[in-house]
């Protein structure tokens, strides 16, 4: 692999110190020793990180944007080593954040990317002809027994929710062991899907809901969970790449799941720009959809950051399919129109707690959510579809 | 598992807002939905996180230390799920850092902990009778061919360095594929060890150096690397838990390596107190030694943070052995005395670039490093041994 990776970091330091700081970072992220102590000049030229550009951060005069180039050969094609080269040691340096990374074509092509992409996820759901936003919700709380989770899933599926995922806090715990939970929930969703086949409601007739259990834990546990999913005919999976590790995510999940994978941002931290990590990198590692905390909810991502994640999910990226942006994190049914206007029709909205909070009225609220998604396709949808076709630049985290 | 975990977070918010912020965090890290929407009061009492204590951070009047309790049953015994419960979603909230976590005895006992511990690592090296600090160095830079790395390793081993590890930037790249590299380096170290057996220098006679290759990548790659190590009789391993993922670290490495494991802090980030992550958690996941960036080098850890990591490596922790603290990160031979005085004799000092910078004088400088460790055992060592016997409290990151 000849060409080099380009990685852009924000350095919090006085402008006068930026050239030396950037040079020190280039050493830290490559040879990690004084360059003058490398006897062979050809080796030094090949592997030493180099400072390609420095500019004052337009958003912050006390910070510098430094673009370094790193040798592709130091990555190979391993996702773990890619993260190491981009942000291994400097993750321990509080003055550094990683904003952007552009990989040469050969390296892009060596990473798996999504198997299904946004279109494949859409096809796996029964969302029918025509482009409309998908709806996703979560089974919670952790601690519920399998039969209670199955009851919830049935109600969501009957209401017309496209994707019903486990809460990411539900793992393989004693209250709902993976095998029993997945069997019960999938059967409940199957039953609802069969019932909808004969529905007179045009929004439900033929609608097919998809269950996405949370696959987690050590690699062997992930393998056992995939086996259980196959036995039950489960059609999607939820996973947290930063918790299971990107190597396990790629090898144990992306290469073996055989169903669309929805990535969850838990443990992603605040030191890598979310557009890069949750958008571009999760996509390169094989996510078909990426959940992120939308603005105005329980998290502090800005509107600009969220739009940049969606752009990174969709922009050209070597040979890889676009993936589905999934805004989430304290969203309410009343915000559907606003979110669809911002993200476009080829988006999946995730609303969890707001549906469950309705108590006995949960089925009605879930149905209102599903209806809002259908209505969006006819109304503001067209303006939004045009808007989201424009990729936005990768932008930095505001933190 | 009955009793609950206690996790202490620092919340950056006005004191008046702290009770509500802590309550929101307790929800986020457990049920992730409005508690009043959980119909079953017994379930709510069982799984909902609760705020156990709030106090203004003694180090920062604009921050609050919030101690939450979380149900052990939500963790099970999975290291990945432990990280999820402690810091999953709130890793995305910039006002939260994780300072401390105390696990109930049953959960401590369910995690593997170190197989060899500090004493086992010491025994695997040929450091001889009596307690003296161990010396560690690194093979670098990445990009060197196996025969060049082997030449370096031979010189280090002949100089009396106890542990010779790969730079953590050396993975399984084309310049030095794992199998060939490990075979060549281990044979060079074996040869040096045989030669030392007959040495007339009392510091070298019978001294045995240990090679610790960097094991990295996806789980299958880790398994292949361990196989190659076994074939060559390699006696230790280096790994980055936060890059490979703690699940892979536990399952693919700790449970299968059969040799002492040295944990490297790459990708650990700045949102979890290093004493907790690099000290206590890496130890619980199976590290026998933990590398951390010492104060006064290229990183910004404070003296207090470094001493707290060492304390966490050694303090009582359920059934688990103490592990070896390994201060590193831009250290110089001239600082050996200071470091040994601070960390005590049962410490491994890691000095890499400073030895390589000596160029043709590298063997002499490496020998000076080894000599400093022997001399320490007779001199300031005794005072230091007394000092490090006092465990220090887990302290927060300064960032």
Q: What is the pLDDT of residues A163-204, one digit of tens each?
A: 999 999 999 999 999 999 999 999 999 999 999 998 999 889
What are the pLDDT digits (tens) for A231-255?
999 999 999 999 999 999 999 999 9
Same-domain check for residues A9 and A123: no
A398 in a domain, yes or no?
A: no
Q: How far is CA A153 from CA A130, A157, A216, in A?
A: 25, 6, 20
B226 in a domain, yes or no?
A: yes
| pLDDT (0 to 100) of residue B76 | 86
% of chain B exceeding 70 in pLDDT: 94
Same-domain check for residues A88 and A154: no
What are the pLDDT digits (tens) for B293-340?
999 998 989 999 999 999 999 999 999 999 999 999 989 999 999 999
What are the pLDDT digits (tens) for B156-203?
999 999 999 999 999 999 999 999 999 999 999 999 999 999 899 988
To 10 degrees, what angle do helices A303-314 and A336-343 make?
50
Distance CA B296, CA B148 (A): 31
CATH code of B275's domain:
3.20.20.110
| Res. B39: pLDDT tops 80 | yes
Same-domain check for residues A80 and A195: no
Same-domain check for residues B124 and B249: yes
Banded model confidence at residue A129, pLDDT cuts 50, 70, 90: confident
CB burial of residue A6 (10 Å; 0-12, 13-18, 19+): middle
Banded model confidence at residue A2, pLDDT cuts 50, 70, 90: low
Query: How many residues comprise chain B?
Result: 399
- Structural domain span for residue A47: 4-110
| Res. A224: pLDDT tops 60 | yes
B394 in a domain, yes or no?
A: no
Q: Nearest Cβ partner of A269 from B32, B43, B91?
A: B91
| Res. B135: pLDDT tops 80 | yes
Q: How many domains does chain B have?
A: 2
Reading phi first (left if > 0) and then psi (alpha if -120 to 50, else beta), residue A286 is in left
Same-domain check for residues A127 and A53: no
Same-domain check for residues B300 and B371: yes
E strand spans, chain B: 4-12, 50-57, 60-71, 96-102, 134-139, 163-166, 210-212, 237-239, 261-263, 289-293, 324-328, 348-350
B91 in a domain, yes or no?
A: yes
| pLDDT (0 to 100) of residue B396 | 44
Same-domain check for residues A179 and A312: yes
A327 in a domain, yes or no?
A: yes
Contact yes or no for B218 and A94 at CB 8 A: no
| Res. B394: pLDDT tops 70 | no
Average pLDDT value for chain B: 93
Q: How far is CA B111 from CA A100, A111, B77, B103, B247, in A?
A: 37, 33, 6, 10, 11
- Cβ–Cβ contact B293 with A under 8 A: yes
CATH code of A12's domain:
3.30.70.150
Residues of A in contact with B245 (CB under 8 A): 243-248
B398 in a domain, yes or no?
A: no
| Res. A277: pLDDT tops 60 | yes
| pLDDT (0 to 100) of residue B106 | 95
Same-domain check for residues B138 and B104: no
| pLDDT (0 to 100) of residue A394 | 44
Same-domain check for residues B174 and B285: yes
Cis peptide before A141 (omega within 30 of 0): yes
Report the pLDDT averaged over residues B28-46: 94
To 10 degrees, what angle do helices B178-197 and B219-232 make?
30
A399 in a domain, yes or no?
A: no
Q: Which of A80, A111, A226 to mutate to test the interface with B (most CBs of B within 10 A)?
A: A80
Contact yes or no for B218 and A80 at CB 8 A: yes
Distance CA A99, CA A277 (A): 9
Choosing from A84, A110, A136, the residue where a domain stops is: A110
| Res. B115: pLDDT tops 70 | yes
- What b/e sequence results for B310-341 when a residue is b if at least 16 CB atoms lie within 10 Å of its CB, and e otherwise? bbbbbbebeebbbbbbbbbbbbbbebbbebbb
Same-domain check for residues B182 and B104: no
Chain B: give the shortest CA distance to residue A341, in Å: 25
Same-domain check for residues B67 and B147: no
What are the pLDDT digits (tens) for A62-110?
999 999 999 999 998 899 999 999 999 999 999 999 999 999 999 999 9
Please give the biggest Cα pair distance in chain A: 78
B43 in a domain, yes or no?
A: yes
> What is the C-alpha radius of gyration for chain A, rounded to an integer number of angstroms?
22
Q: Nearest Cβ partner of A173 from B76, B89, B247?
A: B76
User: CA nearest B165: which of B255, B79, B242, B266?
Assistant: B266
What pTM value is reported for the model? 0.94
Banded model confidence at residue B2, pLDDT cuts 50, 70, 90: low
Choosing from A110, A125, A159, the residue where a domain stops is: A110
Same-domain check for residues B144 and B223: yes
| Res. B389: pLDDT tops 70 | no
% of chain A exceeding 70 in pLDDT: 94
Which residue did the predictor score with more confidence, A18 or B1? A18
Choosing from B63, B82, B110, the residue where a domain stops is: B110
Instruction: Let me know: does A323 contact A116? Beta carbons within 8 Å.
Output: no
């Amino acid at each position: 692999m000849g060409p080099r990776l380009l990685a852009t970091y924000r350095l919090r330091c006085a402008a006068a110190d930026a050239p030396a700081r950037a040079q020190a970072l280039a050493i830290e992220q490559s040879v990690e020793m004084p360059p003058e102590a490398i006897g062979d000049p050809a080796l030094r030229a090949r592997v030493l990180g180099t400072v390609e550009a420095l500019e004052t951060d337009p958003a912050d005069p006390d910070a510098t944007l430094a673009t370094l180039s790193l040798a592709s050969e130091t990555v190979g094609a391993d996702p773990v080593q890619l993260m190491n080269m981009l942000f291994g040691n400097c993750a321990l340096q509080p003055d550094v954040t990683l904003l952007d990374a552009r990989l040469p074509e050969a390296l892009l092509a060596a990473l798996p990317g999504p198997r299904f992409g946004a279109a494949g996820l859409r096809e796996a759901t029964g969302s029918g002809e025509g482009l409309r936003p998908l709806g996703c919700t979560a089974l919670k709380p952790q601690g519920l027994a399998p039969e209670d989770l199955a009851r919830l899933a049935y109600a969501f599926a009957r209401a017309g929710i496209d994707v019903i995922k486990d809460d990411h806090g539900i793992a393989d715990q004693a209250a709902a062991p993976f095998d029993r939970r997945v069997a019960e929930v999938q059967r409940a969703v199957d039953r609802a899907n069969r019932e909808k086949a004969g529905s007179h409601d045009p929004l439900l007739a033929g609608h097919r809901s998809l269950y996405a259990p949370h696959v987690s834990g050590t690699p062997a546990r992930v393998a056992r969970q995939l086996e259980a999913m196959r036995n039950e005919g489960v059609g999607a999976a939820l996973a947290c790449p930063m918790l299971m590790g990107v190597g396990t995510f790629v090898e144990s999940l992306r290469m073996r799941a055989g169903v669309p994978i929805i990535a969850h941002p838990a443990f992603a931290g605040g030191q890598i720009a979310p557009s890069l990590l949750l958008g571009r990198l999760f996509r390169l590692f094989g996510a078909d959809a990426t959940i992120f905390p939308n603005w105005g909810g329980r998290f502090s991502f800005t509107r600009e950051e969220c739009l940049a994640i969606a752009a990174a999910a969709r922009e050209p990226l070597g040979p890889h399919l676009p993936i589905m942006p999934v805004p989430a994190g304290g969203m309410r049914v009343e915000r559907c129109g606003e979110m669809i206007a911002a993200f476009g029709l080829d988006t999946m909205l995730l609303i969890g707690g707001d549906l469950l909070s309705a108590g006995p009225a949960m089925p009605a609220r879930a149905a209102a959510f599903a209806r809002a998604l259908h209505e969006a396709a006819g109304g503001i949808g067209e303006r939004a579809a045009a808007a989201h076709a424009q990729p936005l630049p990768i932008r930095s985290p505001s933190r």
